[in-house]
Amino acid sequence: MFRFNGKVAIVTGGGRGIGKAISRILASQGAKVAIADLRGDIARETAEEINSAGGQCIAIETDVTNLESVKKMVDMVHQTFGTVDILVNNAGWDQMMLFKDTTPDFWDKIIDINYKGVLNTVYAVMNDMVGKKKGRIISISSDAARVGSTGEAVYSGAKGAIISFSKTMARELARYNITVNVICPGPTETPLVEELKQDSDLGSKILGSMEKIIPLRRMGKPEDIAYAVCFFASDEAGFITGQVLSVSGGLTMC
């Protein structure tokens, strides 16, 4: 379906949820995948699953909010697989509450994981791609960034920042034949969404009734997002850059 033979990919937050599906499908199509996840345990579990299925995958415990941790992870990828061809910025986190109930510490945590994490990885990886005059950077934002989402004010802002940053990087890196694109998932069945439903009445009320308002009448599956990532990562998408794609069953159409 896709041809990633010999390509080296980093997937942040690849231990579970959407990142796990991205890692699994990239590897099944021939990519050598490094899972960079804060949780070493689930990253290793996922890497073992992928390797047992015949893929090539390593797990590297990484905190994307910390540039030193990200640089160490990239060094390890270089030693194991070589320079990076595909970077997937997937790591993210949220907790649903109205903005009036948030605190500055919460703002920092959300911005660090969801936005600064992307700055750190792009900063650490882009020279590989500039050197070979080819590369693919795909970041997972959210439809919350495009249309807003009650209970996710700071998260929506951080995810919006990913879009603006990516468009600028698409311009700056175009001369090196590096494409930079963004995918905005709608509500997708993952461990994070289960936690959001359980953690607050607001989360359970909003996310519990999503299927009724999604035109395709179901929540997204991690694989729905992963196939869109694979498209942007493919050679065939080489003339597409600075774009934002919603994968949401039609929930948003603007």
Ligand X SMILES: NC(=O)c1ccc[n+]([C@@H]2O[C@H](COP(=O)([O-])OP(=O)(O)OC[C@H]3O[C@@H](n4cnc5c(N)ncnc54)[C@H](O)[C@@H]3O)[C@@H](O)[C@H]2O)c1
Write down the residue that tokens 């590096």 correspond to. Answer: 178
Q: At what angle do helices 117-132 and 153-173 cross, to 10 degrees?
A: 10
Kindly indicate which of the ranges 78-86, 99-107, 185-193, 226-234 contains the residues binding ligand X, using the contact rule CB under 6 A: 185-193
CA 224 to chain centre: 13
Q: Does 142 contact ligand X by CB under 6 A?
A: yes
**Binding to ligand X, residues 189-218 (CB under 6 A):** 190-193
CA distance 107 to 105: 5
Closer to ligand X by CB, 37 or 85: give it: 37
Applying the rule CB under 6 A, the residues between 86 and 105 that interact with ligand X are 90-93
The size of the interface with ligand X (CB under 6 A), counted in residues, is 30
Least distance from ligand X to the Cβ atom of residue 185, Å: 4
Q: Does 111 bind ligand X (CB under 6 A)?
A: no
Helix runs in the chain, H state only = 17-28, 40-52, 67-80, 104-111, 117-132, 143-147, 153-173, 191-199, 201-208, 210-213, 222-233
Rounded to whole angstroms, how far apart are CA atoms 194 and 197?
Answer: 5
* Binding segment toward ligand X, per CB under 6 A, in 9-17, 49-57, 78-86, 226-234: 9-17
Among 28, 29, 30, 39, binds ligand X (CB under 6 A): 39
How far apart are the C-alpha atoms of 44 and 41, rounded to whole Å? 5
**Which residues are within 8 A (CB) of 75 and not within 5 positions of it... i.e. 6 or more apart?**
none
Q: Both tokens of residue 198?
A: 């359980």
User: Under the criterion CB under 6 A, does residue 249 sit at the interface with ligand X?
Assistant: no
The residue (of 157 and 187) whose beta carbon lies closer to ligand X is: 187
In degrees and rounded to multiples of 5, residue 91 shows phi and psi of -55, 135
Asked about 176 being catalytic, the answer comes back as no
Which of these segments, 34-42, 49-57, 96-104, 233-241, binds ligand X (CB under 6 A)?
34-42
Smaller CB separation from ligand X, 7 or 159: 159
Catalytic residue positions, numbered = 155
Which positions lie near ligand X, rule CB under 6 A?
A: 12-13, 15-19, 37-39, 42, 62-65, 90-93, 113, 117, 140, 142, 185, 187-188, 190-193
